[in-house]
């Protein structure tokens, strides 16, 4: 697939609804029903240029090429995971790295993980993205394009989407919600809302707003510690929104939506994987309809933590289960490929 840099002066096709596109066609004297054909090419067959749309008249293809761009992002690098199966993509414009996306293959199918910001202002201690200077939030079109360009590369429909790449999704709330609406539009990609998960480090007011706006999209909280002293050292935003407030917002979300929520908990040896940490976590989420997802740390060069032993992981899990907390142990895909969002961009930026 040849992905060309988009012309900044033209609107992205991913900004346009079927109605917008129909109007553009009609104003130029073309049949508005062609909008459905075009969206089919882009969202179902992942066309990257109007030239590929062979059932459109040549004149219309030429006209659209001058008016609308399909691709804004260029694929700068692709990295495939080792024994497991994951692909990491680095996208940019004009040769300059911007964001990363990851495609993960689970037993139940493909999941596309997208970024929402160029750099991240949150600065979590365990995240490669903390080294990347924050520039801006991605537009709706850029977020949609990350997902569709992964489908195009894989030549397959991706059935699940997670907002777990670089950026805190709730700091780019409007564009994230608009991207979800676009991908779930039945006249386009028609992704199921229930197959989308937005992951946050915890911004209580945004989590409460999301309860009203999400309409079925799932919420995951990157908790990673059950006490403020440990969480302060991992996630700086915790000083503004302490554990208690964040977990209360999660409880409210689960009650308001009737949905089970996910609590992500990365296990770092000697930091948050002790018996007392497991007991504190069990007490914290008691009564919330949640699934705790334990993620043993994958060592990353330059970061100080090590992976807990199998016994520590099993003990932690058993303490949660004894307290009637639902818990899973995440299978690691692609080793470090998944662990360090922002790593590829950092490597390339530092060259």
| Interacting residue ranges for ligand SF4, rule: CB under 6 A | 120, 122-124, 127, 129-130, 166-168, 201, 341
In the complex, least distance from residue 337 CB atom to ligand SF4, rounded to whole angstroms: 15
**Interhelix angle 310-322/275-285, nearest 10 degrees:** 30
Contacts (Cβ under 8 Å, ≥6 apart) of 172: 116, 117, 137, 138
In the complex, least distance from residue 122 CB atom to ligand SF4, rounded to whole angstroms: 4
Task: Report how far residue 169's alpha carbon sits from residue 117's, in angstroms, rounded to the nearest whole number.
Answer: 8
Q: At 78, give phi and psi (nearest 5°).
A: -130, 135
DSSP 184-200: H-TTTT---GGGEEEEE
In the complex, least distance from residue 223 CB atom to ligand SF4, rounded to whole angstroms: 12
CA-CA-CA-CA torsion sign (304, 203, 259, 227): positive
How distant, in Å, are the alpha carbons of 1, 166, 213, 253 from that of 122?
34, 10, 23, 22
Q: Which is nearer to ligand SF4, 201 or 288 (CB)?
A: 201
Q: Which is nearer to ligand SF4, 6 or 119 (CB)?
A: 119
Tokens in use for 278?
């497991």
Tokens in use for 282?
């069990």
Q: Which of 136, 71, 81 is nearest to 113 (CA)?
A: 81
Q: Which is nearer to ligand SF4, 127 or 220 (CB)?
A: 127
Task: Check: CB of residue 201 under 8 Å from CB of residue 222.
Answer: yes
Catalytic residue list contains 205? no
Q: Which is nearer to ligand SF4, 202 or 334 (CB)?
A: 202
Determine which one of 113, 127, 290, 341 is catalytic: 341
Extract the runs of DSSP E, i.e. beta strands, from the chain.
74-80, 86-93, 96-106, 109-113, 117-118, 136-137, 160-163, 196-200, 218-222, 261-267, 290-296, 326-329
Task: Check: CB of residue 158 under 8 Å from CB of residue 147.
Answer: yes
Q: Which is nearer to ligand SF4, 70 or 246 (CB)?
A: 246
In the complex, least distance from residue 211 CB atom to ligand SF4, rounded to whole angstroms: 20
Q: Which is nearer to ligand SF4, 6 or 342 (CB)?
A: 342
Determine which one of 27, 100, 151, 312 is catalytic: 100
Task: Report how far residue 293's alpha carbon sits from residue 317's, in angstroms, rounded to the nearest whole number.
Answer: 10
Tokens in use for 85?
């199966």
Tokens in use for 3?
């992905």
Tokens in use for 105?
């293959």
Contacts (Cβ under 8 Å, ≥6 apart) of 233: 125
Catalytic residue list contains 338? no
In the complex, least distance from residue 130 CB atom to ligand SF4, rounded to whole angstroms: 5
In the complex, least distance from residue 160 CB atom to ligand SF4, rounded to whole angstroms: 19
Q: Which is nearer to ligand SF4, 31 or 136 (CB)?
A: 136
In the complex, least distance from residue 343 CB atom to ligand SF4, rounded to whole angstroms: 11
Residues with catalytic function: 100, 341
């Amino acid at each position: 697939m040849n992905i060309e840099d988009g012309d900044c002066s033209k609107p992205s096709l991913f900004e346009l609804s079927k109605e917008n596109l129909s109007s553009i066609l009609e104003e130029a004297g073309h049949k508005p029903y062609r909008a459905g054909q075009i969206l089919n090419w882009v969202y179902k067959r992942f066309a990257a240029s109007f030239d590929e749309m062979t059932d459109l008249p040549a004149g219309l293809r030429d006209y659209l090429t001058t008016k609308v761009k399909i691709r804004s992002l260029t694929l700068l690098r692709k990295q495939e995971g080792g024994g497991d199966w994951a692909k990491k993509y680095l996208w940019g414009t004009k040769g300059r790295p911007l964001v990363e996306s990851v495609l993960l293959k689970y037993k139940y199918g493909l999941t596309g993980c997208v970024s929402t910001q160029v750099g991240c202002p949150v600065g979590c201690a365990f995240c490669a993205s903390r080294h990347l200077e924050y520039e801006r939030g991605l537009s709706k079109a850029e977020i949609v394009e990350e997902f569709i360009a992964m489908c195009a590369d894989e030549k397959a429909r991706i059935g699940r989407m997670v907002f777990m790449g670089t950026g805190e999704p709730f700091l780019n709330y409007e564009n994230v919600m608009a991207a979800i609406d676009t991908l779930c539009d039945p006249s386009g990609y028609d992704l199921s809302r229930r197959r989308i998960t937005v992951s946050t480090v915890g911004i209580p007011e945004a989590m409460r707003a999301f309860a009203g706006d999400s309409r079925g999209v799932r919420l995951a909280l990157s908790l990673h510690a059950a006490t403020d002293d440990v969480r302060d050292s991992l996630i700086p935003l915790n000083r503004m929104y302490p554990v208690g407030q964040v977990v209360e917002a999660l409880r409210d979300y689960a009650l308001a939506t009737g949905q089970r929520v996910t609590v992500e908990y990365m296990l770092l040896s000697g930091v948050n994987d002790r018996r007392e940490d497991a007991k504190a976590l069990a007490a914290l989420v008691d009564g919330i309809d949640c699934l705790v997802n334990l993620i043993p740390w994958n060592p990353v060069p330059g970061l100080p933590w090590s992976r807990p032993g199998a016994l520590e992981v099993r003990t932690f899990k058993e303490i949660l289960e004894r307290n009637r907390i639902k818990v899973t142990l995440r299978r690691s895909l692609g080793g470090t490929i998944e662990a360090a969002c922002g790593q590829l961009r950092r490597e390339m930026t530092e060259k």
